Structure 1
Amino acid sequence: MTSSPWPASAVRETHVGVVVLVGERAYKVKKPVRTAFCDFSTPGLRRAAIVRELELNRRLAPDVYLGAAALTGPGCDEPVLVMRRMPDDRRLSTSLARGDDLSDDLRQVARLLAAFHAGAHRSATVAVEGGRDALRERWRRNLDEMEPYRDAPLAGAELDAVRRLAFRFLDGRGPLFARRTDRVVDGHGDLIADDVFCLDDGPRVLDCLDFDDRLRYVDGLDDAAFLAMDLERLGADGAAARFLADYAEFAGDPAPAALAHHYVAYRAGVRAKVACLRWAQNGDARAAEDARTHLALATAHLRRGAPRLALVGGLPGTGKSTLAGALADRAGAVLLSSDRLRKERAGLDPTTSAAAEFGTGLYDPAHTTDVYAELLHRAAELLALGESVVLDASWTAAGLRERAAEAARAADAETVALCCAAPAAVAAERIRSRRRSVSDVTVAVAERMAIVADPWPDAVVVRTDRPLARSVAQAARVWEEAAG
């Protein structure tokens, strides 16, 4: 007698359904319940829900969702969803817990999801539901529903921080969301590691959100971010980042990192709310911890994704360009340089000399005003598109710094102010040793600049007469702390 490759029959239950596992099949029925988000109170409503679940999930796993049937008998005619049974040991969450190398599997999931999104339904209605205003409303509803739990199990200060950071991001990113209308699709809507199975012939993604179509109408990156969030919750931070990178590659999506952080935060916020509701029902300590974990995850991603405008300044020779470039690389920000822009506006190659006496030629007040105005104009456009920006310039004039701060406020972005400093002798030697530099400054010009420079009391002073790594680490800490 040959033993069955499948484990014993089993029954799994949720608050709205029951799944019976028998051999190689799974049979799912809806409970006759009515909740705030679904109504299965009559056989007709349950039958329609089963057919809809079948239709939606066949989009990603047609060989798993086999059909709709009925459990019949005396006085019984109950609709049933018939599914191919998935092996529990190939569940993504189980594989993660075992410590399996899932690099190839997650890359296949990313490819599958990107291909699904490429062919998914799009319409004007879908686009509206996945736009900025709809996302703001979903944030508002979720946060409002968490308000009763601000003292327990959540922390009110953290809840307030999430609200502030989420709405600040949305307020300033109108052009970013406007550009992404064609990436809003009828997606999966509830992509978690428990519902992904990594089989030898490729992944199967199950159990899409089927009770409210509007919640499934999302930006493709938002859909992918749900799984990334869940991977991170399970301790697989590296796998989460690689999955999102793979998805972006297969989807051809050049989205800024800030948008991915925002979507991961949103998905974590949703799960925090659900955990709060579970805790309220039965006081489950695990649900309370789950709520806190997810809210902390949301806070961390909102802070990391908050767009920043960094002013990296200081007198000539203090290493501001070196620090600005290193900080931009580390933070994944766009670097804009006043020296390069000045030459660009004059139609010159960056290394072509335009040296002049202090306050003359390309460095007279009119040219300087023009360069800084263009610098801030470009920065504002980038901030609106979700990019953080590092501005490499002297920033010795208080009036110009205030204009930069105004630009950051207008873009709902955080300001980072860093003033580079080095001993005069070190700065002078750096200036004298430059060859084919973008900068035209001389030691004499630097001395005049030092005389007329306005105080910069709100900047963090970064000493650059030490190993670059230490200076960059200090600047990175200021960058990270800027979002509060």
Structure 2
Amino acid sequence: MDKNFELHSPIRLLLSDLCRRDGGTLEIRETHMSWLFLGARRVYKLKKPVRYPFLDFSSVAKRRYYCFEELRLNRRLASNAYLSVLPICRTADDGLHLGDHGEVVDWVVEMRRLSDHDMLDSRMRARLLEAPDIEAVASLLSRFYRSLLPERIDANHQLAYLSEQLDIDAVVLCRKEFELAVQLSPLLNKTHRLFQECAPELRERIASGWFREGHGDLRPEHVWLGTPLQIIDCLEFNRMMRIVDPYEEVAQLGLECSIAGYPWVSDLLETGIATLLGGQPTDELAGFYTISKALLRARLCMAHFLDPTPRNPWKWRPLALKYIKVASDRFETAG
């Protein structure tokens, strides 16, 4: 951890004050990796000085790099929302200010605030989602994926990565204290068999250029249905996690909408993408994408209990069980 770790408290105070002056409102949201300070018109995203196996924000230089990566990557699908990267500097009297005068002590991403009620997850909770909304999302994503160059990746490496993720799912979900092993072992075994059956098609899709540098974390809370439509929060900190088959990303978004009570979104998304983009995978591979994403999301839910003080502990097990049910149901439908 770098020496500026202790600065995060006064930096948070600075950003809070800026947001209060932005229309008199302030909302603060926290994730494992960042703090978000939301004013009436602007949002400032401050990366935490943390290091995990899958990311490293532990120095000012690294946080600067990933702030600019976040800006670059998100402007592909949300150019209206992502405005700039700004330095936080120390003033002559040892205070802090947002700007480029003085010693830089950290960096923030500046965004335009998007109305919460137009986020896809909010629309679903309010029962205000309609088919044209999803058709517009499919159209935007199809244009996005068409614009991406095929990734030159090694098929053996990519398949090894996918297999490793399934192994990690099993290790976490089958921990003794979770008491899920008996229920999950048959499902995990079937998923491994399905993966082996889909391996030749995966190799062919890699060779044909279907794997591209996509969004990496396509979920309803990242889709804004206002005008123009924006898809935010691209996963900036790990390129490997962004190298995907477009239909894998679409499967994740459809999965999350199914969990929220909108199962028809998945079919409409897949149909729209297939019509506009082409190259639809077989039903078997599409099923594997949904099942593997469901198991990953279940794993991430239960992994919260590995933290010393998990946030919202009441939330994670019921949500993990919903993802597990989606995976199980997909096998039954296919069978």
If the length of structure 2 is used for normalisation, what is the TM-score? 0.83
Q: Distance in 1 between matches of 2:80 and 2:202?
A: 35
Q: Distance in 2 between matches of 1:297 and 1:7?
A: 43
| Amino acid corresponding to residue 171 of structure 1 in structure 2 | Q
The one of 66, 87, 91 aligned to 1:49: 66
Tell me the equivalent position of 2:329.
300
Question: Kindly, what percent of the aligned residue pairs are identical?
Answer: 25
Q: Structure 1, residues 244-302: CA drift from partner, whole Å, max 9, x if none?
A: 22122221133222222211111111111111111333461211111111122222223
The one of 94, 110, 131 aligned to 1:103: 131
Is 1:135 aligned to 2:162, yes or no? Answer: yes
Q: Structure 1, residues 332-384: CA drift from partner, whole Å, max 9, x if none?
A: xxxxxxxxxxxxxxxxxxxxxxxxxxxxxxxxxxxxxxxxxxxxxxxxxxxxx
- Evaluate the alpha carbon distance shift between residue 269 and residue 263 of structure 1 in structure 2; reply closer, same or farther with a 3 A threshold: same
Q: Distance in 2 between matches of 1:73 and 1:83?
A: 22
| Amino acid corresponding to residue 285 of structure 1 in structure 2 | W
Equivalences for residues 49-448 of structure 1 within 5 A: 49-74=66-91, 77-125=105-153, 131-148=158-175, 152=178, 155-181=180-206, 182-199=209-226, 201-281=227-307, 282=309, 284-305=313-334
SS at match of 2:187: helix
- Evaluate the alpha carbon distance shift between residue 126 and residue 70 of structure 1 in structure 2; reply closer, same or farther with a 3 A threshold: farther
SS at match of 2:279: coil
Residues 175 and 181 in structure 2, CA contact (< 8 A), matched pair in contact too? no
Q: Distance in 1 between matches of 2:322 and 2:129?
A: 25
Q: Distance in 2 between matches of 1:263 and 1:47?
A: 34
Q: Distance in 1 between matches of 2:159 and 2:332?
A: 19
SS at match of 2:229: strand
Residues 126 and 185 in structure 1, CA contact (< 8 A), matched pair in contact too? no
The one of 36, 50, 56 aligned to 2:53: 36
Q: Distance in 1 between matches of 2:295 and 2:129?
A: 28
Q: Distance in 2 between matches of 1:7 and 1:179?
A: 55
Residues 132 and 170 in structure 1, CA contact (< 8 A), matched pair in contact too? no
How far is 1:51 from its partner? 0.8
Q: Distance in 2 between matches of 1:299 and 1:46?
A: 40
Residues 11 and 18 in structure 1, CA contact (< 8 A), matched pair in contact too? yes
Q: Structure 1, residues 170-201: CA drift from partner, whole Å, max 9, x if none?
A: 222333223312211111111110111101x2
SS at match of 2:52: coil
- Evaluate the alpha carbon distance shift between residue 169 and residue 203 of structure 1 in structure 2; reply closer, same or farther with a 3 A threshold: same
Q: Distance in 1 between matches of 2:156 and 2:80?
A: 32
Residues 151 and 243 in structure 2, CA contact (< 8 A), matched pair in contact too? no
State the superposition RMSD in angstroms: 2.2
Residues 105 and 202 in structure 1, CA contact (< 8 A), matched pair in contact too? no
- Evaluate the alpha carbon distance shift between residue 19 and residue 279 of structure 1 in structure 2; reply closer, same or farther with a 3 A threshold: same
Q: Structure 1, residues 408-461: CA drift from partner, whole Å, max 9, x if none?
A: xxxxxxxxxxxxxxxxxxxxxxxxxxxxxxxxxxxxxxxxxxxxxxxxxxxxxx
SS at match of 1:26: strand
| Amino acid corresponding to residue 71 of structure 2 in structure 1 | L
SS at match of 2:111: strand
SS at match of 1:171: helix
How far is 1:112 from its partner? 1.0
SS at match of 2:51: coil
| Amino acid corresponding to residue 134 of structure 1 in structure 2 | Y
Residues 212 and 245 in structure 2, CA contact (< 8 A), matched pair in contact too? yes
How far is 1:92 from its partner? 0.4
How far is 1:128 from its partner? 6.0
How far is 1:113 from its partner? 1.0
SS at match of 2:135: helix
| Amino acid corresponding to residue 85 of structure 2 in structure 1 | A
Q: Distance in 1 between matches of 2:329 and 2:57?
A: 38
If the length of structure 1 is used for normalisation, what is the TM-score? 0.58
Q: Distance in 1 between matches of 2:106 and 2:30?
A: 17
Q: Distance in 2 between matches of 1:238 and 1:272?
A: 21
Q: Distance in 2 between matches of 1:95 and 1:128?
A: 41
Q: Distance in 2 between matches of 1:203 and 1:126?
A: 34
SS at match of 2:56: coil
Residues 247 and 280 in structure 2, CA contact (< 8 A), matched pair in contact too? no
Bigger CA radius of gyration:
1
How far is 1:125 from its partner? 2.3
Tell me the equivalent position of 1:16.
33
| Amino acid corresponding to residue 90 of structure 2 in structure 1 | G
